[in-house]
Structures are given as C-alpha cells and as structure tokens.
Structure 1
Amino acid sequence: MVCNASLSKIVVRGGYLVNLTRNGGHFRDFDARSGVRYHWNRRIAAIRTMMVDTGSTATADPTAAVANVLTEKESTDGSSGYASGGCKSEDGRLSCGYSSFRGKRATMEDFYDVKMSKIDGQMICLFGIFDGHGGSHAAEYLKEHLFENLVKHPQFMMDTKLAISETYQRTDLDFLDAESNTFRDDGSTASTAVLVGSHLYVANVGDSRAVISKAGKAIALSEDHKPNRSDERKRIENAGGVVMWAGTWRVGGVLAMSRAFGNRLLKQFVVAEPEIQEAEIDEEMEFLVLASDGLWDVVPNEDAVSLARAEEEPDAAARKLTETAFTRGSADNITCIVVRFHHDKMEAGSPPAAAA
C-alpha cells in the first residue's frame, strides 16, 4: 500500500492519532483531544492481524501485512472532532478518502476503519463505518476487532459471504461478553465493504449505508434496518417484541434501528445478523460511498453521488460530503469513506488470456 511505505506515518483513528513508529516493538498512541500519550504493549507480531493461515509459508514482511488508514494528506482538530485523509492501494487499483466530523453532537461516537493486504496473491481491501449509539464503546470495539476476526475466519477466502455473516454475529457475542460486568448498554451499526480481487461484498447492520456510483447512477448496496420496515417489524414481533412510535419508529419505544451490535437489553429483537449484497467491479463502477446516517439523514443517495463525482480525489469527495451534510443541518456525527476504482490499473494488472 502506497501510504504504508513507512511505519512512521500518522493514523487518525476515531478521535485518536496513532503513531505507528516502531519503538522497541511498541506502538505509541496520542489522544488528539488531550495530547496525553499512551503506550500500547503491542509487539510487532500484533499487526499481523491481516495474515491468515493458508497452509503455505508466508514470506511477507509482517509490518507490511496490514495498514489502517495511513494518510498522506490528513488534518485533525481535537476541538471540533474533525479528521480527514486518504490513501491508495499498493497496486494502484483504488484510492480512498475519509472524513469524520463530530458535528453538533457533544461527543464523537463514529469510528471508521480501512485495511488492505494481500492474501494468497489476492488484493484484499476492507472498509468500515461504525456508528455508535448510547456511547462509543461498541463502535470502537468493532473498529478494533471486526476485520481482525473476519480475516482469521477459516472460510474467509473460500466462502467470504459465510465468513462475513458468522464473524458479524460472533463479534457481537464477544462484545456482549466483554461488557458483561459493566452497566453500559450501548450499541453500534456497521456498514462494511470487503473487496476480494474485483468481487465486492457489502454487509450492513443498522442504518449506516453503502451506495455505489455506476455510470453516474446512484445504486444503494444496503437497505437501512428501520423498525417500521415490514420484514423487520414482522421479525421483531415474531420474537415477542413491539415496534412503536416515539418521535420515530422504535424497537420497544427505545431504539430507532432494528439491527445493531450490542444493545444487550434488546438483543432478543435487535440482532447483528448482516444483510449482504455482492457486486463485481466492472468498468462502469466508478466509486463507492460508505457513510453513517449523519450523512444520509440530509443527503439523498443521488446527491451524494453527484457531489462525489464533481471531485477528482476521493479525500476531497469525502470532505465535500461531510461539509454538505453539516451545512444542510445534520444534527449527528458525520463520517464517510469514498473508494474510487481505477480501471486502467485493473486492466493493466489483469492476467493474460489463455492461449486457444
């Protein structure tokens, strides 16, 4: 990955700046809001989370095995909870940009993640938006564990869709176990895109959303999990739950989404089973937008695609989207990732056709 050429880069992670400079096998964290330094006892093997046992001998440098959002152009403002940046894949087939803004909320509960690696010679890219509610713990847990768990799934390369489904639900159980001795009961959405070669898997839990631009047309690759969605309402009521109006449609009069990670007290009705859509990235696929509902509440799918198309670079597109959502009156945290596909690089990297 181009932006992983050196481990002395800076990573903006949620509300944190993470310095991945090696220091005796440790990593150093700086809280961007307070300037306090933290030390993580993570030895260099810890960043091998993107490596899976394929039965072959791995020769890759473990420090290059995984990259979070390592940015070449980044800015962060601890007072406003704003961060933005971007990077490119090592093979040049895609570039991505992100922008995250606390907005009018008192606290920041959105997190995002980007990871890239090669597994069995295939380029693997993972993008995620995690929108917390009732606190930030669930969203932060997903950022730290969801993709790590996914690539460790034994069927990840052979049956990616199954691996995603099982990993989502397993990670939800792990989070609930980790929180079992606390009085917290927060939760989080997850909108993720997993690119294996040129095959795209979009998985969604909650009301964050993924939209792709195909020849300039906005196509939703996820459907929001709202309690008043007829199939979701039926599922909840069959499980013994109720959906009622309390300013908006809510599960038990409490939660305004019908699927989420966490939310222990509503877990019987609010599941973390993802809906997964698949797509093949062809030359008509221009870019993908993943965003929390802070964007989608005020920016329709078609507007998001139109705004992003007007920007040449995905980091500029991501910034434009968050700024537009804020100026249109979004009252929520606003986070988005824009992934642009470079088809000239894809064609150049394609294997030669077999001789007749």
Structure 2
Amino acid sequence: MEDEARCFLRRFVEEVQIGPDDPLPVSPLSRARVSQDELPGESLELGLRLLSARDAPQALSSLLCQAALSELLKSDLSPFRCTQENESGEEEEHGVLLSSESIQRFFLNKVKEVAVAWQRDLPAFPAGASQPPSYAVHAIRNVRRKMEDKHVAVAEFNQLFGFQDGVDRRYYAVFDGHGGVDAATYAATHLHVALSKQETLHSDVATAFKAAFSHVDEMFRGKAKRERLRSGSTGVAAFLQDQCLSVAWLGDSQAMLVRRGRAVTLMEPHKPEREDEKQRIEDLGGCVTFMGCWRVNGTYAVSRAIGDFDQKPYVSGDADCATVQLSGDEDYVLLACDGFFDMVKPAEVPQLVLEALREPGDLDGAAAPKATSADAVAQKLVQHARAAGSSDNITVMVVFLRSPEQLAQDIAKKAPAEAAQASDSQSKSGKE
C-alpha cells in the first residue's frame, strides 16, 4: 500500500498543474456560486473525481481529500465571497455564497500541496485502509432520454471524514431523480457529508440519518431557488457501522437484505397509495388520485422525496430508517431504484444472484470486457429487470457482507448435494 501510494503521489505532483490561468482539470458541480454549507460536499466530490480519473488508490484518495478539506476550512475564505446580490437579497437568504470556480481551484491546490508534503513524509495509513471495498454496481439509462439516477459508495467513510475510533463504517446509496438530475446529484454529493456531521451518529444512526436527509432537503431548497431548479429525487442509503446495518429512505427506491440465500424485508417504500401515506397527504389538505398510477395532487408518483418543493409538504422530505443487528450469516444488501423493483420481486433476487455467481463472465456483449463475479451480479440483475419490461433508468448496487468468492464457493459446495438430493427423490419416486 505505501509503495503504491508513493508511486501515485510522485506521478500526481508531476502531472497535475492548477495554476491561476490553467483550466480546472475537472469541472465543479456548481459553475457559478456555492454556499459555505455546500462547500465540503462539493469539494470532496471534486477531489475524489480528480483522483479517481488518475487511478489513485481509493484509501489514499479519501485521506488526501480529507486533509485538503481540513486545510481549506481553516483558511480565510473572504476573498472568494460573491458580493453581488440580486434584488431579493439572495445572499442574506441563503447565507454566504462563494465563487465556485475560484474556491475549487484553491481546494485543488490544497490537494496538490498535501500530495507534495506526503511525498516527503507519508503518514501512516489506518488499519484496514488497504482492504478493497466489496460491492458491485451497474447502472443504465435504458430507453429513457436522460439518465437521472445517481449512486455513491463510500467504503472509506472513516478516512474521508477523519474518524479514528476503530469502528468500521461504510456508506452506500442510490438516488432516482425525476424532472431532471439536479436533486439526485445534490443528494449523492451531500447526504453522506451531512450524515458524518451528526452528533448522534455514534449512538443513534436512525436519528442521524433522518436529520441528514432533512438537512440536505433544506440545503437543496436554497440551491433550487437561486438556480430555479424544479427537480426531485427519491433515495435509499445503507450505513454499516461495525455489526449494525441501518437503511434510510425517501420514496420508492428500496433496499433488501439477503441472509443464507433468503430475502429479508427491511422497509416499505413510500408510495401515494400506501394507506398511511394517503392519510397523511389528505390530512394536510392534499389528495391522491389515479392517473395511470397513483399520484400526489395529480403530479408526482412518490409521496416522499428530496426537492419537489412545489408540492411540499404533501411530498414529504422526512425519511424513514430501519436498523438491523448483523449476526454474520448475511450474504449481501441490495439497493436499487424503482426501475428495478417495479419489475423484479425481492424473492427473485437470491436465485438471480446465484446464477450470476455460477456463471460470471461477459454479460454486456462481445465487445465488453469479461466481468468479475461481483460485477456479474449487478449486471445480471439489471439485465433481468430490463428483459422483464423495465423502460426506466435502472441502478442496482450489491454490497457484499461476505465476499463474492466465498458465496460462489458455498454455492459450488451446495450444488452437488442438491443434485444428489434431487436424484434420490427421483429414484424414490420411480420405485413408488
């Protein structure tokens, strides 16, 4: 790990130039202005994207970005403030706004400064930093005109946010945008950052998750107003903290757990036709009507989401959360948007995964590289949903709680026993 890190740092420092007249090597999410509340999330996203494009080791990327952000937030940011206000007093309403390109150039130079310093004196990597993340994701636009799904995996949660208490933490999420991709992009950028800042994260993940969702929804309200955005996004996020799994969600994106090859229900999606959701909306003075599908006030087909401010509070920004204590016999957690779950029943998933692990390989056509067993699982699930008739964007993320290799070995051991049992049953049937 250390040799790989030193090699990358040397190459990165030599190749990357971020002078005042150089174009930024990656584009900021906010092209004009960014609020101080948005700065950590957008900076981390930008830095990770830059380092990933240059094949940096993932643990090193997280540590570099965390160190650079820490230096950025210690700095005097007043030179980057936007002084021009619009007629409605925008700066007062949304807090201090900063020039996005200028401050992100400043941040990327902080990344390079840290890289230069670490070339000379590489810090010790935390225990477990070299362990590869065990997840697979596959996403397709399908027949839709635009791709409005976003996903994020932060297997190096501790390194990215500076936790050093020895507790293992990992975060995974899928967001399904509608009316544009802005809300999904925003949630994918900021939700894990907001979660990391919650004081209750150590003791009560459910409370922390709900507060983080609400905070990001309110943050997006400010961006949507100043940039005249109208999109919304459902979302589902999973947080692993030692042997505890917490799943939080808004809308109809879903997560499921598979234990010993059997599907375990973790949640119920928020849909307008759900009796308690329908009652909540009607108590607020809204209505749920059928227009090809059940819709809130004749508009959105989900009853909870980030954004959709024209239909708040009927479309609620309040997330739900479920927590499960893991016992060690769990196989994986699957997160996916409704483009998958509208066509695939949870009970079908374990068998599809078994088939993919038995026959890993090229699932995307002859021109695609051969898939690993982990990749094959996500691809198999997406292709099955598409073949079943899904025309929506489809994103599937599989977070393995046991390695795909171990699962495949278990399947291989079970197969002969299952075959022998079937043969024995047939033999007995013949004798009868």
If the length of structure 1 is used for normalisation, what is the TM-score?
0.74
Structure 2 residue 253 is matched with structure 1 residue 208 = yes
Structure 2 CA distance, aligned partners of 1:191 and 1:266? 21
* 1:28 corresponding residue in structure 2: 25
- Compute the displacement of 1:328 (Å): 1.5
**Structure 1 unpaired stretches of 5+:** 10-18, 32-37, 50-60, 68-88, 345-356
Q: Secondary structure at the match of 1:179?
A: helix
Q: How far off its partner does 1:48 sit?
A: 10
State the partner residue of 1:155.
200
Match of 2:63 among 65, 85, 95: 65
Distance 1:25 1:221, change over 3 A: farther
Q: Which amino acid aligns with 1:335?
A: T
Amino acid aligned to 1:65: L
Identity %: 30
Alignment of 1:11-22 (within 5 A): none
Please state which structure has a larger fraction of its residues in helix.
2
Residues 66 and 233 (structure 1 numbering): CA distance in 2 closer, same or farther, change over 3 Å? Answer: farther
Aligned mate of 1:178, from 205, 218, 223 = 223
The SS at the match of 1:155 is helix
| Cα deviation 1:50-101 (Å, max 9, x = unaligned) | xxxxxxxxxxx9744389xxxxxxxxxxxxxxxxxxxxx8475961000010
Structure 2 distance, partners of 1:65, 1:180, is 34
**What's the CA shift for 1:149?**
1.2
1:202-244, Cα deviation, whole Å (9 max, x unpaired):
0010001101111111122121111010110111111111001
Query: Alignment RMSD, CA only?
Result: 3.6
Contact 2:45-2:189 at 8 Å conserved across structures: no
Residue 81 of structure 1: aligned partner: none
Q: Distance in 2 between matches of 1:302 and 1:310?
A: 14
Q: CA deviation at 1:184?
A: 2.9
Cα distance in 1 for residues equivalent to 2:7 and 2:324: 33
Report how far residue 124 of structure 1 moved: 1.0
- Paired amino acid for 2:312: K
In the alignment, structure 1 residue 129 sits paired with structure 2 residue 174: yes
Aligned twin of 1:331: 391
Which has more strand, going by share of residues?
A: 1
What are the ranges of 5 or more consecutive residues in structure 2 without an aligned counterpart? 47-58, 66-127, 358-372, 405-432
Preserved CA contact (<8 Å) 1:7 1:20: no
Among residues 347, 351, 354, which one is paired with 1:306 in the alignment? 351
- Give the 5 Å matches for 1:186-201: 186-201=231-246
Deviations 1:88-144 (A, max 9, x none): x84759610000100010000000000023322112100000000011000000111
Report the 3-state secondary structure (helix = DSSP H, G, I; strand = E; otherwise coil) of the residue aligned with 2:282. Answer: helix
Residue of structure 2 in register with 1:106 after alignment = 145
Q: Which residue of 2 aligns with 1:57?
A: none
Tell me: CA distance 1:114–1:234, structure 2 relative to 1, closer, same or farther (3 Å).
Answer: same
State how far apart, in whole Å, the 2-side matches of 1:7 and 1:173 are. Answer: 42
State which structure, 1 or 2, has the greater radius of gyration over its C-alpha atoms: 2
Query: Aligned letter for 2:183?
Result: A
Structure 1 counterpart SS, 2:356: coil
Structure 2 letter corresponding to 1:23: V
Q: TM-score, normalised by structure 2?
A: 0.61
